[in-house]
Structure 1
Amino acid sequence: MLKICCYGGVNDIGGNKLLVKFDEGSIFLDFGLSYGEESQFFEEFLQPRSGCKLNDLLKLGLLPHIDGVYRQDALCPNGFESYDCRAKSLWKVDLQSFEEAVKAGSWHPDAVFISHAHLDHCGYAPYLGAIPFLCSGMTKKLMDAVAEIGNLQGLDKQLTVTKKREMGRLKTGFFSGEPKADYSKEQKDRDFCDLEHTKAQTTGNGLTVTGFNVDHSIPGSMACLVESKDFQVLYTGDIRFHGKSGYNLGEELDGLEPDIMFCEGTRIDQNEPDNEKKVESDLTDMFSDCEGLAMVGFTWKDIDRYETVRDAAINSGRIPVFDPRLAYLLAKIGRNVYDEGARVFLERSGSMLYSPGDYSNSKHKIGDMPLSEWSSKPGNVVVDTKHLEKGISAIELNENPCSYVLHLDYFRFKNILDFELPEGSVFVRAQCEPFNKKMELSQERLIRWLKHFRINAKNGYKPYQIHASGHASGPEIQEMIDRIKPKVLVPVHTEHPELFKNPAGEVHRPKKGVEVRLQ
């Protein structure tokens, strides 16, 4: 028997948490957060309480209420019962933790497949117990980088490692001896199994998991095929066909006929395929025609877009200058931004002096060496300040703005306050347009910035839009489905499940949290 249950990604773009139960064992396909669902309860200054975030998310229905899944110390700090504290009655936990399930021999998932390193697919993974994670080696490296410099806090940072949350007592200060919950200094690596393209891995429960490289807006993205002795389940993850890799899942698995195919449909309602080459061509023209500083916004995790912007800048005779987070990400995968004809933007921080000491708490802004390798021990000081020597600061930009293309996303717009922008400076948004109220408010603020500094005057102070999505169009998705021929097609990661068609079998439109059994 095969059981499937979608705890996320239902009538929603993102938040995939797809549980598949075979007779042999169980596997989660992604365990991501839903930005849309979180925004129904939270905003910038109204956030879950960091000390009991898992409990808050469970109470609000943002995480599924399932026994045997979550780590014990996320539900309640280790050792809590032995301490007498006033809040004891508020720490009611009616879920069996992963550790308790293993000890009792009761049900728990045997593995988690992570399709890629976007948080809407892996952002809630830190709350899981010691379950093996299966993903590409690239995805593991990118998760490391996101945890280190991605503005995550508390337990959310533990994407690839775990630090136990334990009860203890304050050793100093006004309330010495009083109880406190905190994370241990000891850090343990999570159990990762690296998936290679088309090479099957067998889990401890006898399931076979095969990863397939797919193209998406972040490297290392994979689809997966999970097989038991009786069933095949295919999961596309997020997918596109217009990127630079040339991967095509439909060609790879032509005629497979899996029992279940979970298929993403972010752009199932869009008929026109996107084209990254056209993005490069349009950006080249924009940069060439620009009479001042050319600025472009896109997410720092999109390495394909980095390459597109870099090439467009060079083609237009300008020097490309990128966010230091992107440079750090490239270094994680063995690449050096300076070796690729680009430079790094040196952002003013701390006391705003461009002094090395200004970056003590943001080391990635002045170098791309792994943060764990920095050392201040006497006689063994190890630092990396290459961006201080090689990077481009506001001073260089102001001296000759027409010589540069600057990577500047919305959340780094405050740096414009250091710029002396000539007439004719432009800002291009090379990422998706606003699609919810929060993003629309951000767009209004962005336009105020552009108008104040007379950027994009010829476009009514609105951002120029040049973008190709990280997702396939409707006809491309349908062609893939037609080639793979699933017996049951399950639309996920889409707001339009009604548009899916399956000539080879049926279409099952899932309901969130409702289990379906197949013989």
Structure 2
Amino acid sequence: MDAIMTGLSFYGGLDEIGGNKIQVSSQDSSFFFDFGLAFSQANTYLSEFLQPRKANGILDFVALGLLPCLKGIYREDYLRHVGLHHTPQPAVDGVLISHSHVDHMSYVHHLREDIPLYLSEESYLILRALEETGAATFSEFLHLKKSFQLLPKVRGEGYTRKTIPVDREIHLTPPYQEFQVGDFQIQSAPVDHSLPGAAAYLAEDEDGMMVYTGDLRFHGRQPELTHQFVKKARKAQPTTLLCEGTRINSTGNTSEEDIQKKAEDVVNEFRGLVVVNYPVRDLDRLLTFYQVARNTDRQLVVSLKQAYILDLFQGRGYPELSEVLVYQPKRGWGMVSDDTYACQDDEWICSSDLDPELTRRDYRTWEREFLDQDYTINYRELQENPEDYIFRCDFFELKELIDIKPKNGIYLKSMTEPFDEQMEVNEDKVKSWLRLFNLPLLKGFHASGHANREEILDMIRKINPEEVYPIHTEGKEQFKVLEEDGIKVIYPTRI
């Protein structure tokens, strides 16, 4: 099926973990599988405080090799602002988002709003949370805010700068229900991964069937999803399989059940504050530590951001908001307890005696709905009764330890190990914070979101495509063994 082979263009996801941007083309139409950030390429040039300039549109991203130089896919405001041509019609018929990790969807921000996005309902909810709660410059996923717009002043002469909100064209993809993208008939196939809503895709046109795995695993809380996908993909008799291989060099797995048992053993023997860091969008991991807290007579304390995500997922098998506690950090003037004062009419007044609305102004609109609730606590409670809590604290929340002042505590790391220079730098900073507060660092509480070598090869053999393209991997040579089974292994090159 040479038509499919020549219709694949790879702009990321090769010889690297993440950065998937794969264009599939027929004679008259095309679409992308994912449109994500490439960690390795970004970390070569950028850091937390060294980022591309919005004022330069897409030019910084293209110059650094982060975005492909393609016509007809980028937003008009970014193009025209720097004098580039904008085509009347989009050059692709859609982007299929496999899941809401940044290495698969982050650069959707730069796409024009009339390119339809196809994704699961759960992925939509996570993008909604990222868009609403995030502070990053480039985080317009579901809605585009047209920049560099001058509008007449309401009063007086002249113009004023404005951003104009525009809705993107969003299509939710129910499991295994066919939908049309250009010439292609497509089905979304739910799979298990380290956040809700991950999906593989089956795409068929007159030249044959193509399957894209996205990211998946068989050892999570819903392995039946991935097994069903494998059965459906095998039945479809695909010509081509685009297969992730993140852990193609790894054997063995750690499950959420393994983490829960190990954490319970540790926490049951400890009398003090338990601090844990796990990914904010990994609701399976939240569920794990919620169970750990329940089984050790503690309560799980989550951040405002995770409370927002959890609220969106109520009724989907995760804890109710009332079943966890939500931590209220200091914002602005920091008026969350009676040891902060404000000057009013030349008199210094305790925060607790001031109008509560003055405190609420320190918080963003989405945060305010979680304040003053029965489940909301602050550092005072953690300080006074540390043995009652498991406190989720990520890298950016370490400063809360200054207020909590843990006298006796432990830190459970439930994250992947660093795999780039910036992550190693951050890891060293975490260790410095832990030394400052005498918090022992305990590791081994992480379960990968990816299948291992044996599972990947077994999956490919069961699906039995004519050809397989290793993507999202640094171990593509490990796929070569499949040629003994009559499966052609193709190593594509990046455009």
Scaled by the length of structure 1, the TM-score of the pair is 0.84
Q: 2: CA distance between counterparts of 1:347 and 1:252? A: 47
- 1:121 alignment partner, SS class: helix
The 8 Å contact of residues 31 and 121 in structure 1, kept in 2 or not, is answered as: yes
Residue equivalent to 2:352: none
- Indicate whether 1:478 and 2:461 are aligned: no
The 8 Å contact of residues 489 and 508 in structure 1, kept in 2 or not, is answered as: yes
CA shift at 1:171, angstroms?
A: 5.4
- Indicate whether 1:415 and 2:387 are aligned: no
Residue equivalent to 2:97: 114
CA 1:163 to 1:366, structure 2 compared with 1: closer, same or farther past 3 Å?
closer
Residue equivalent to 1:100: 88
CA shift at 1:358, angstroms?
A: 3.9
Query: Structure 1 counterpart of 2:124, which letter?
Result: K
CA 1:21 to 1:237, structure 2 compared with 1: closer, same or farther past 3 Å?
same
Match of 2:380 among 389, 395, 399: 395
Query: Structure 1 counterpart of 2:198, which letter?
Result: S
Q: What do you get for the CA RMSD once the two structures are aligned? A: 2.2
CA 1:258 to 1:180, structure 2 compared with 1: closer, same or farther past 3 Å?
farther
- 1:199 alignment partner, SS class: coil
- 2:132 alignment partner, SS class: helix
CA 1:357 to 1:506, structure 2 compared with 1: closer, same or farther past 3 Å?
farther
CA shift at 1:180, angstroms?
A: 7.3
CA shift at 1:363, angstroms?
A: 3.2
Match of 1:239 among 216, 219, 229: 216
Residue equivalent to 1:323: 303
CA 1:478 to 1:414, structure 2 compared with 1: closer, same or farther past 3 Å?
same
Query: Structure 2 counterpart of 1:276, which letter?
Result: E
Gaps of 5+ in 1: 78-90, 103-107, 368-383, 457-461, 514-519
The 8 Å contact of residues 211 and 233 in structure 2, kept in 1 or not, is answered as: no
Q: 1: CA distance between counterparts of 2:271 and 2:232? A: 47
Query: Structure 1 counterpart of 2:269, which letter?
Result: D
CA shift at 1:463, angstroms?
A: 4.1
- 1:36 alignment partner, SS class: helix
Residue equivalent to 2:30: 26
Residue equivalent to 1:73: 77
Instruction: Summarize the alignment of residues 155-174 of structure 1 with structure 2, pairs less than 5 Å apart.
Output: 156-168=138-150
Query: Structure 1 counterpart of 2:147, which letter?
Result: R
- Indicate whether 1:13 and 2:17 are aligned: yes
CA shift at 1:478, angstroms?
A: 0.8
Residue equivalent to 1:439: 423
- 1:241 alignment partner, SS class: coil
CA shift at 1:289, angstroms?
A: 1.7
Instruction: Summarize the alignment of residues 130-169 of structure 1 with structure 2, pairs less than 5 Å apart.
Output: 130-153=114-137, 156-168=138-150
CA shift at 1:111, angstroms?
A: 1.2
Residue equivalent to 2:410: 426
Q: 2: CA distance between counterparts of 1:125 and 1:361? A: 31
CA shift at 1:263, angstroms?
A: 0.7
Q: Across the two proteins, how many residue pairs are aligned to each other?
A: 462
The 8 Å contact of residues 318 and 405 in structure 1, kept in 2 or not, is answered as: yes
- 1:352 alignment partner, SS class: coil
CA shift at 1:261, angstroms?
A: 0.8
Residue equivalent to 1:250: 230
Match of 2:169 among 191, 194, 213: 191
CA shift at 1:206, angstroms?
A: 3.2
Residue equivalent to 2:178: 200
Q: Deviations over 1:269-309 (max 9, x none)?
A: 00112311101111111221222100100111111110011
Query: Structure 2 counterpart of 1:451, which letter?
Result: R
CA shift at 1:365, angstroms?
A: 7.2
Range that drifts further, 220-229 or 435-444: 435-444
Residue equivalent to 1:87: none
Residue equivalent to 1:374: none
- 1:124 alignment partner, SS class: helix
Q: 1: CA distance between counterparts of 2:385 and 2:357? A: 25
CA shift at 1:328, angstroms?
A: 0.3
- 1:16 alignment partner, SS class: coil
The 8 Å contact of residues 370 and 376 in structure 2, kept in 1 or not, is answered as: no
Q: Deviations over 1:336-360 (max 9, x none)?
A: 8555621111112110112553443
The 8 Å contact of residues 356 and 385 in structure 1, kept in 2 or not, is answered as: no
- 2:31 alignment partner, SS class: strand
Q: Deviations over 1:410-438 (max 9, x none)?
A: 11100000113123x10011110112211
CA shift at 1:310, angstroms?
A: 0.5
- Indicate whether 1:499 and 2:484 are aligned: no
The 8 Å contact of residues 256 and 485 in structure 1, kept in 2 or not, is answered as: no
- 1:40 alignment partner, SS class: helix
Residue equivalent to 2:341: none
Q: 1: CA distance between counterparts of 2:129 and 2:288? A: 21
Range that drifts further, 162-171 or 10-19: 162-171
- Indicate whether 1:287 and 2:273 are aligned: no
Gaps of 5+ in 2: 337-355
Match of 2:52 among 48, 54, 57: 48
Q: Percent same amino acid at aligned positions?
A: 30
The 8 Å contact of residues 307 and 321 in structure 2, kept in 1 or not, is answered as: no
CA 1:22 to 1:274, structure 2 compared with 1: closer, same or farther past 3 Å?
farther
Q: Deviations over 1:384-427 (max 9, x none)?
A: 3545542121111111100100011111100000113123x100
